[in-house]
Amino acid sequence: MGFFIEALMGGLMAGMLYSLVALGFVLIFKASGVFNFSQGAMVLFAALAMARFSEWVPQWFGFESKLLANVIAFFLATACMLAFAWLVERLVLRHLVNQEGVTLLMATLGITYFLDGFGQTVFGSSVYAIDVGMPKEPVFILEEVFDGGLLINKEDLIAAFVAAVLVAALSLFFQKTGTGRALRAVADDHQAAQSIGIPLGRMWVIVWFVAGITALVAGIIWGSKIGVQFSLTTIALRALPVIILGGLTSVPGAIVGGLIIGVGEKLSEVYLGPLVGGGIEIWFAYVLALVFLLFRPQGLFGEKIIDRV
Amino acid sequence: MIYRENGQFKTSYREDQQIFPIAQDRWFILALVAFAFVGVPLLADEYFFRAILIPFLILSLAAIGVNILVGYCGQISLGSGAFMAVGAYMAYNAFVRFEGMPLIAALLIGGLCATVVGMFFGIPSLRVKGLYLAVATLAAQFFCDWAFLRIGWFTNNNPSGSVSVSNLSVLGWRIDTPVEKYLFCLGFVVVFGVLAKNLVRSTIGREWMAIRDMDVAAAVIGIRPVYAKLSAFAVSSFIVGVAGALWGFIHLGSWEPAAFSIDRSFQLLFMVIIGGLGSIMGSFFGAAFIVVLPIFLNQFLPWLGGLFGIDVSTAAVSHAEYMIFGALIVWFLIVEPHGLAKLWSVGKQKLRIWPFPH
Amino acid sequence: QQAKEQFFPVLVYRTGAYAPNGVPWANGFIDYLKLTNARGGINGVKISFEECETGYATDRGVECYERLKGKNGGAAMFQPLSTGITFALTEKAPVDKIPLITVGYGRSESQDGGVFKWNFPLAGTYWVAGDVIIQHIAKKEGGFDKLKGKKIALVYHDSPFGKEAIPILQQRATMHGYQLTLLPVPHPGVEQKSTWLQIRQQRPDYVINWGWGVMNSTLLKEAQAVGYPRDKIYGVWWAGAEPDVKDIGEGAKGYNAVTMQHGAEPNAPFIKEILEKVHGKGQGTGPKDEVGSVLYVRGAMSAMLAVEGVRAAQERFGKGKVMTGEQVRWGLENLNLTQAKLDALGFKGVMRPISTSCQDHMGAAWARIHTWNGSKWEFTSDWYQADEQILKPMVRAAADKYAAEKKIQRRTPQDCQS
Amino acid sequence: MTTPTPVLTVNGIEVIYNHVILVLKGVSLQLAEGQIAAILGGNGAGKTTTLRAISNLLKGERGEVTKGSIELRGERIENLTPADLVKRGVVQVMEGRHCFAHLTIEENLLTGAYTRKDKGEIAANLEKVYTYFPRLKTRRTSQAAYTSGGEQQMCAIGRALMANPSVVLLDEPSMGLAPQIVEEVFEIVKDLNQKEKVSFLIAEQNTNMALRYANYGYIMESGRIVMDGAAEDLRNNEDVKEFYLGMGGAERKSFKEVKSYKRRKRWLA
Amino acid sequence: MAHKKVGDVILDVQNISLSFGGVKALTDISFNVKEHEIRAIIGPNGAGKSSMLNCINGVYKPQEGSITFRGQTFKHMNSRQVAEMGIARTFQNLALFKGMSVIDNIMTGRNLRIKSNIFLQALRIGPAEKEEVAHREKVEHIIDFLEIQAYRKTPVGQLPYGLQKRVDLGRALAMEPQMLLLDEPMAGMNVEEKQDMCRFILDVNDEFGTTIVLIEHDMGVVMDISDRVVVLDYGKKIGDGTPDEVRNNEDVIRAYLGTSH
Ligand SMILES: Nc1ncnc2c1ncn2[C@@H]1O[C@H](COP(=O)(O)OP(=O)(O)OP(=O)(O)O)[C@@H](O)[C@H]1O
Ligand SMILES: Nc1ncnc2c1ncn2[C@@H]1O[C@H](COP(=O)(O)OP(=O)(O)OP(=O)(O)O)[C@@H](O)[C@H]1O
Ligand SMILES: [Mg+2]
Ligand SMILES: [Mg+2]
């Protein structure tokens, strides 16, 4: 029983971490109809910027304070993401107005390659650490109830909390503000949005910047968990079933999807894995997402796919 | 002025329905194929065959398969790597488990098994669409990756999960040298290329495209979505499976599941998008772009650096390669969102009216 | 003069998921080649070399192989530096007559030179690594009989590389009666939560880590996060270098790894020589502070073995000449690096003698254990030798199976002379 | 006729799609302040293209203006973004509706007011649109994709009005609307034109209706303006009558009587 | 005008009701269509005209009622069945296959009649090729008929709106249907083009004896060419009869026509 609870909690926590990455995808998709393949690369880039600046800043300015270094690095990294968003709009999206989804997807792939190369050139390709003072050592609770106690990972708890805050803020933004509504309009029809005076360029800079910030947050949390290096990009693959399950256009969906996927894959790996040789969690996550899709083709909270004649 | 259709009148629909209705195209393609069979073996060196031409041909074939599914039928698939793997591993099993199994038969059996698997994973497409469908195919990808690593039977119980083949021959003709391998692949590509082209310009091809463009309207004129989608999955994964078998048998000789990883699936998808969705020709362009360009950049950049006396480190080269490659993708898309094939046809269009601007 | 240069192709990965581990290896390799040139080449034959980036991807590796094999007078050996590429090249090398050197990786059964004429897993295979780890654990526990009923979990990279260890650990498990649990981690290894949940559930006495790249550091962080004692974890030699533990620091204290003879060797004579003759002249390949680190030394040692292979070939086919692939193959097969020779090369205290033969392409089966003390790696055991009695039949059986599948005949004694 | 100050001046523009297809071959037209001008012409004449060129929406269709100039109150506008134009009061109602499928009718209308800030005015404007199109009010909470063709058309027109424009480019406003709604739409146009001095440039197939409400008309064929003049004059022109108003001769022919032989006459081949 | 013979009822719609969530698109609609006649459906925007067609050819499933076609009664129809029975249609919001050329779009209409299997098609030998050519010929007739020869190979997405509507009609005609459902075929056309379109419709009706169900807002057209008219308003039937009857029906005038035409 203790173990089950632990696995369950582990799954929930892992799910929250996926959600953090998934959010970036959802944001850009919901707000511009672009399936942003480069989200993984953005996470890496942002994390690299954060890690390296927090290392360089004290050297440049000659101070010791870790906290100050982190704060400055955070702002510098944010600035990087803003510059990135601006450049993406300028150099890429602006020229691809009104193109089909696959074309845009492909363009974000180009961005991915570029960003991977650029990030490693500027920031290097070793392993870097982000140390924002996340607690690493485990805590055990209810030791008197369960043998060995229940393991609680404080780092994960903090991550989950951050993800929840982000989601709440973003949901409000989309539902309650005019900009949010305009962003959804852009996703539906670029041209019509232009025709009524929505400045596509500005909208895109905004969403890509916001997505950049979620990437930065995800990068900091994941980076402090597993170190900053190239493999961070691959967690995007773990976030895919999450957004698909939650619905490509739903911010809360990213969280719920994350929780379901997280729990599903951990429980399956722990309970079914040993029977078939293990390593099943990744495909299990996808199969799980698929099963849900068969009942709701647009994901749990996604906007209904419209087909009308 | 060379590219003129003037004076080429079609007197029958049959003529107008040839693969290449314009005479220049026809001659050009014939010349190209002849050159590929005769000229290239005389000219190219071993590196060219083994590192560029053979992978290019095999991946073009796979891209044709993917294009049928994604480009023609509009079902986004990220499982092509898995279908390649199925083709490769099942061909391997057919080859080693049955004494005297002819090579071509083994490859085709690989393709058939891929067909079955492809159709199975295509079933969700009846309900799930677009990017959402991508997960179904990703499920195929990860499941197959896992199965080939974990289930010993597929690898003839090789503990490491990797398998290898050798002593390939067709009707007594041993396929050893790079030229022979090249010709063998070329034969496959030409045959399947023509078959695929025929399919996409026939009824079944129109059904696929109709489903892609507007499935409700397609249903109203009597196209059965089930049949159209599953047949696209079947044909596509058959071709992809054969390509996978060729990749394993001819190109690598020995492989592990990682050779058909998710990266391969993405690579194939990129090829068809860059090359041009819904274009057989585009599959070749796309394969050339994605296979050759990085290799080219990888060798060109140090040379370029050398010209200016800069010693470019390997890491810098590959980072630059990434950046340039990414930038080129974006650039091409901006110039022509419908891919290189479209760019090509716009070019032809211009040539047709040249020297006038419009 | 051109013809006087022996060409060394260098397959590396300086980008991508495994770059942090690939880079120091490559730097060590290149630096050693530079050192050899600084020492006057191989009997006067200078070394030329060229890197090719594989990104740890098999098809890129194959392309590199094809590109480099004919360059600069032709490559006389390859070091694929990836299990996947090794598998692919194993099919091609015999055709091209170029030997493959896989120092500490690749197929374990390729030790059997009777079947794998062109493969040289010099200085140790994964079965050696696995065997030594079990020997060490047994010693800690106070004898093999104490292993009975113990639980050992193998956490491995889910790829042919990771699976290489399974046969030997299973073999030993049947002998000693410990319980082996297999826990695969999918590439690249950043997601191990369920693995560690299972470890928490089963509470194994030891965890063996067969990881590479980011999987290693993730594994240690997860271990820390669930409070599994790091000193009960043993890594393979690709999971026992600085990039794996550096950014965890204290958190990884006590973590052990088997070494491929060497560890971090900042004080080895040849390292000093490199610092002086290569870095001192401003020709160093990477940053100076990396020189002498574990993977750097691995790279340098791999280069040294190849150089010595060429030298051995020259002994027979003509000193001061450029060797062909076939000649180098002979050299590698008749390598006899005595302690004296090694000492002369500056490897004193770094490694033990290696001598190969037609039957044995590995040449040595020695290993030690080293432990991370929070800031650096320290040796914490004596030398172990893998148990021939166990390995030999396994190698033989696996090689025979391969031969049967490929329809290759075992090499005849005459062939061994050639 | 006195020429009031032009708001919009299009000067000999050429438009090319896809780098090769030349569609407009030198189109010039003017829209005077406070005027309603109509562009008439058959399918494929280039009406939509002209409007797209003015509102700068060509780019998304891979078209570009290669020659000529477009001026708004004396200012060159070829390089402005569509959003800038809306800020200057120029709004286009696109052909074929283009409602935001996933947004509700009301949300569609509200996005129309994106460029405006005053909440009170927006609310008032929304009410106005609802009084123009009561049908929209009843469907306000349903997603645009699930409304009928005519409802979508109303939504598109209403959405443009929400921007409080001074120049409106209407592309086939009558398409798919029931006759009395068509009438209403034109009444609204007239109303806005007279009360709020909004200028309209209307591309229409419903020549009859368009010429009844417009002050000035342009007739387009294959990418050129082939005839222009005051609406009055055009309405009385024999050729126009025959080809565009369906009133060849004196009495209106029944559709049944139209023979299937080709009875086309063109100003240009 | 050639006198055509209006035959028996071939399509009988009975008590159809359809609602989406709270929206009642159709309430208890019954009407019938006779062989060879031109039957118009009119009504204000959102009255449920398009939904009615969608029910007939199986895109929507009505909650209540039944449809009888040539003696067979269906609770709801399945699109493929409907097509096989020979009912074709055009769409109000264009539903062409955007990425395909005009020829290919119209060829899809022949799809039900092409018999060669996928293998023959891949090889394109013998019967497959012959069949393709034969059908192409039929399609060329339609292209001639609709006067869109010049656009044969243009992707339909690039055609102006009016021509797209013609292609849409062409695709439906290619099915050689017994009954053709047209949803606002003349929207976005000028008078001359409407006349042409009317001509097409009348010709189809005359020459092939195709039964036509037509939705149109142009009263001139409707009153001119249709034999009988159904009027819908807010999902309810408010009138049914000959053009003259409908024109003078009080309800219809109030709800739709405004003034008498
Ligand atoms: N995106 C496009 N790409 C290529 N050609 C186009 C494109 N859009 C329009 N055209 C071509 O431009 C010409 C003019 O089209 P336009 O849409 O302006 O006509 P229109 O007068 O609005 O016709 P309609 O009344 O049918 O809407 C047509 O011949 C059409 O084929
Ligand atoms: N799939 C659907 N989901 C929800 N509501 C729908 C759907 N289809 C139609 N409706 C509603 O049903 C009503 C009738 O729609 P329909 O399209 O049949 O109208 P119509 O008579 O064709 O009008 P128009 O002349 O404007 O095309 C409309 O109010 C529409 O919003
Ligand atoms: Mg138009
Ligand atoms: Mg309708």
Q: How far apart are CA B131 and CA E7, in angstroms?
A: 50
Which of A147-156, B299-308, C37-46 shows the highest mean pLDDT?
Answer: C37-46
Chain D residues touching chain B at CB-CB below 8 Å: 16, 18-22, 62
> How many domains does one find in chain D?
1
B349 touches chain D (CB under 8 A): yes
pLDDT at B37 over 50: yes
Q: What distance in Å separates residue E170's CA from the closest CA in chain B?
A: 12
pLDDT at C150 over 90: yes
Rounded alpha-carbon distances, angstroms, from residue C309 to C50, C99, C301, D31: 19, 10, 12, 87
Check residue B5 and give its pLDDT: 58
Rounded alpha-carbon distances, angstroms, from residue A26 to A20, A85, A264, C160, C191: 10, 16, 21, 36, 22
Mean pLDDT (whole number) for C20-30: 93
Check residue E1 and give its pLDDT: 43
The bound ligand whose nearest atom lies closest to the alpha carbon of D205 is 1
Q: How far apart are CA D25 and CA D67, in angstroms?
A: 9
pLDDT at A152 over 60: yes
Q: What distance in Å separates residue B216's CA from the closest CA in chain E?
A: 8
* Mean pLDDT for chain B overall: 88
Structure tokens at E78: 């399945």
For C326, residues 6+ apart whose C-beta sits below 8 A from its C-beta are: C97
Residues E80 and E206 in one domain: yes
Q: How far apart are CA C193 and CA A269, in angstroms?
A: 10
Give B5 or A247, the one with higher predicted confidence: A247
Check residue D268 and give its pLDDT: 31
> How many domains does one find in chain E?
2
pTM: 0.91
The pLDDT profile of chain E, 261 residues, written as one tens digit per residue, is 445 577 888 999 999 999 988 788 899 999 999 999 999 999 988 899 999 999 998 888 999 999 998 888 888 778 888 899 999 999 988 889 988 999 999 999 998 888 888 888 888 877 888 888 889 888 988 888 888 888 888 889 888 888 888 899 999 999 989 999 999 888 877 777 788 888 888 888 888 889 999 999 888 888 888 999 999 998 899 989 998 888 888 888 888 776 544
D75 touches chain E (CB under 8 A): no
Structure tokens at C319: 């000193």
* Cβ–Cβ gap D255/E221 under 8 Å: yes
Give D266 or B351, the one with higher predicted confidence: B351
- pLDDT tens, A259-283? 999 999 999 988 998 888 888 888 8
- pLDDT tens, B228-283? 999 999 999 999 999 999 999 999 888 888 889 888 998 999 899 889 989 999 99
Nearest beta carbon to residue A117 from set B132, B266, B323: B323
Tell me whether residue E92 is in a domain.
Answer: no
Last-in-domain residue among E176, E207, E228? E176
* Cβ–Cβ gap D145/A308 under 8 Å: yes
Q: Distance from the CA of D50 to the center of ligand 4, in angstroms?
A: 28
pLDDT at D123 over 90: yes
Last-in-domain residue among E156, E176, E196? E176
Residues E126 and E2 in one domain: no
- pLDDT tens, C131-146? 999 999 999 999 999 9
Cα dihedral C183→C188→C194→C196 (10° resolution): 70
**Ligand 2, closest atom to CA D153?**
26
The bound ligand whose nearest atom lies closest to the alpha carbon of A304 is 2
For D114, residues 6+ apart whose C-beta sits below 8 A from its C-beta are: A178, A182, A196, A197, A198, D163
Starting at the earlier edge strand, list the strands of the sheet with D167-171. Answer: D90-93, D167-171, D199-204, D36-41, D216-221, D224-230
Q: Is D150's C-beta closer than 6 angstroms to any atom of ligand 2? A: yes
For C37, residues 6+ apart whose C-beta sits below 8 A from its C-beta are: C46, C47
pLDDT band at residue B351 using 50, 70 and 90 as cut-offs:
confident
Tell me whether residue E27 is in a domain.
Answer: yes
Check residue C101 and give its pLDDT: 95
Q: Determine the distance from the C-alpha atom of residue B30 to the mean position of all C-alpha atoms in its chain, rounded to a whole number.
A: 20
**Ligand 2, closest atom to CA D178?**
25
pLDDT at A103 over 90: no
Interface test with E, best of B68, B119, B221, B280 (most E CBs within 10 A): B221
The parent domain of residue E113 ranges over 97-176
Neighbours of A (≥3 Cβ pairs closer than 8 A)? B, C, D, E
Tell me whether residue D138 is in a domain.
Answer: yes
Check residue D258 and give its pLDDT: 53
Q: What distance in Å separates residue B154's CA from the closest CA in chain C?
A: 14
**What DSSP state is assigned to residue A179?**
H
Mean pLDDT (whole number) for A242-255: 89
Structure tokens at A187: 């996703």
- pLDDT tens, B75-88? 988 899 999 999 99
Mean pLDDT (whole number) for D156-175: 91
pLDDT at D260 over 50: no
Residue numbers in B near E140 (CB within 8 A): 13
Q: Is D146's C-beta closer than 6 angstroms to any atom of ligand 2? A: yes
Q: Is D267's C-beta closer than 6 angstroms to any atom of ligand 2? A: no
Sign, Cα dihedral of D135, D137, D139, D140: positive
Residues E129 and E6 in one domain: no
* Mean pLDDT for chain A overall: 88
Tell me whether residue B96 is in a domain.
Answer: yes
Rounded alpha-carbon distances, angstroms, from residue B31 to B20, B24, B34, B341: 13, 10, 5, 19
Rounded alpha-carbon distances, angstroms, from residue D267 to B98, C158, D210, E189: 77, 75, 21, 19
pLDDT at B2 over 60: no
Residue nearest ligand 2's atom 28 by CA: E46
pLDDT band at residue C29 using 50, 70 and 90 as cut-offs:
very high
Interface test with C, best of A44, A121, A123, A125 (most C CBs within 10 A): A125
Nearest beta carbon to residue D112 from set A196, A199, A308: A196
Neighbours of E115 (CB within 10 A): 10
Residue A128 Rama label (left phi>0; alpha psi -120 to 50; beta): beta
User: Residue length, chain D?
Assistant: 269
Residue nearest ligand 1's atom 12 by CA: D23
The parent domain of residue B73 ranges over 60-353
Q: Is D41's C-beta closer than 6 angstroms to any atom of ligand 1? A: yes
Residue nearest ligand 1's atom 5 by CA: E158
Burial of C417 (0-12, 13-18, 19+ CB in 10 A): exposed
- pLDDT tens, A41-63? 999 999 999 999 999 998 888 88
The pick from D106, D143, D146 for probing ligand 2's pocket by mutation, whose C-beta has the most ligand atoms within 8 angstroms, reads D146
- Residue-by-residue DSSP string for C175-236: HH-PEEEEEEE-TT----HHHHHHHHHH--SEEEEE--THHHHHHHHHHHHHT--GGGEEE-
CATH number of residue D247's parent domain: 3.40.50.300
- Chains D and C touch, using 3 or more CB pairs below 8 Å: no
* Cβ–Cβ gap B346/D21 under 8 Å: no
Rounded alpha-carbon distances, angstroms, from residue A190 to A184, A200, A305, B10, E162: 10, 8, 18, 42, 23
pLDDT band at residue D249 using 50, 70 and 90 as cut-offs:
very low
pLDDT at A22 over 50: yes
Nearest beta carbon to residue B325 from set A96, A113, A121: A113
Instruction: Of C14, C284, B205, A293, give the one whose Cα is nearest residue E128.
Output: B205
* pLDDT above 70: percentage of residues in chain B: 93
Residue keyed to tokens 């810098």: B316
Q: At what angle do helices A66-87 and A200-226 cross, to 10 degrees?
A: 140
**Ligand 1, closest atom to CA E190?**
25
Tell me whether residue D5 is in a domain.
Answer: no
Check residue C91 and give its pLDDT: 86
Check residue B268 and give its pLDDT: 94
* Cβ–Cβ gap A248/B76 under 8 Å: no
Check residue A79 and give its pLDDT: 96
- pLDDT tens, C101-115? 999 998 889 999 999
* Cβ–Cβ gap D101/A195 under 8 Å: no
Distance between start and end Cα atoms, chain C: 30
**D-E C-beta contacts closer than 8 Å:** 127
8 A C-beta contact, residue E151 and residue E163: yes
pLDDT at D267 over 80: no
Check residue E161 and give its pLDDT: 82
Tell me the residues surrounding ligand 4 (ion) with CB < 5 Å: D 148-149; E 50, 92
Instruction: Tell which D residues from 43 to 82 touch A, by Cβ distance under 8 Å.
Output: 55, 57, 59-61, 81-82
D107 touches chain A (CB under 8 A): yes
Distance between start and end Cα atoms, chain E: 23
Check residue E46 and give its pLDDT: 86
pLDDT band at residue B355 using 50, 70 and 90 as cut-offs:
low
Q: Distance from the CA of B240 to the center of ligand 4, in angstroms?
A: 44
| Rg of chain B on CA atoms, in Å | 21
Burial of E98 (0-12, 13-18, 19+ CB in 10 A): middle
Tell me whether residue E139 is in a domain.
Answer: yes
- pLDDT tens, B49-80? 988 999 999 999 999 999 999 999 999 888 99
C198 touches chain A (CB under 8 A): yes
Check residue E186 and give its pLDDT: 85
Q: How far apart are CA A216 and CA A209, in angstroms?
A: 10
Rounded alpha-carbon distances, angstroms, from residue B213 to B137, B231, C100, C272, E135: 20, 17, 52, 69, 22
Q: Determine the distance from the C-alpha atom of residue E192 to the mean position of all C-alpha atoms in its chain, rounded to a whole number.
A: 21
Q: How far apart are CA A44 and CA C189, in angstroms?
A: 16
Check residue C55 and give its pLDDT: 87
Tell me whether residue E75 is in a domain.
Answer: yes
- pLDDT tens, B185-207? 999 999 999 999 999 989 999 99
Domain ranges of chain A: 2-234
Interface test with E, best of D255, D261, D262, D264 (most E CBs within 10 A): D255
- pLDDT tens, C278-318? 999 988 888 999 999 999 999 999 999 999 999 999 999 99
The parent domain of residue D53 ranges over 35-61+80-218+226-255
Last-in-domain residue among E176, E210, E233? E176
* Cβ–Cβ gap B321/A240 under 8 Å: no
